[in-house]
Amino acid sequence: MIITNNLIQPLIINNMSKFKTNSNKGFQMTFENGLTISVQWGTMNYCSRKSNDIADFENELKIKSVESSDAEIAIWDVDRDTWFDFGSDQVKGWCSTDEVGKWIHLVSTAKDLEDLKNISK
């Protein structure tokens, strides 16, 4: 809050940070640097739950909580609509929890996608 002329006004901050869920099988985090990381572990993702059967996907949507031993990640720049290139794809599958944690840290501390490319080597 800001107090001016004895009036209290809300302090509006341009805050890009946010969390977002995805169909009970993943989440996204957008950081102040404009980068987003998506972590997904559903039947349509590159993880131990992967299935090409649409019935598995439809059933998954009815489950209260979905678990997996690994997950798929994707990273992009929200402002530029540019995706991080993992070398062979724009997503990286079968990531352990430790690897996902590492990538979350790298994405949150990088200046941009080019910086992320350099610090993730």
pLDDT of residue 18: 79
Distance separating alpha carbons of residues 72 and 91, to the nearest angstrom? 7
pTM (2 d.p.): 0.82
Mean pLDDT of 48-73: 90
Residue found under tokens 């993730």: 120
CA–CA distances in Å: residue 96 to residues 27, 46, 93, 103: 15, 12, 9, 11
State pLDDT tens for residues 6-42: 444 444 445 567 788 777 789 999 999 999 999 999 9
Q: Give the residue from 26, 119, 40, 29 showing the smallest Cα distance to 76.
A: 29
Q: What is the share, in percent, of the chain residues with pLDDT greater than 90?
A: 64
Retrieve residue 70's tokens.
């690994």
Distance separating alpha carbons of residues 29 and 15, to the nearest angstrom? 13
pLDDT of residue 5: 45
State pLDDT tens for residues 94-116: 999 999 999 999 999 999 999 99
Burial class (CB in 10 A: 0-12, 13-18, 19+), 73: buried
Q: Domains of the chain: which residue ranges? A: 16-119
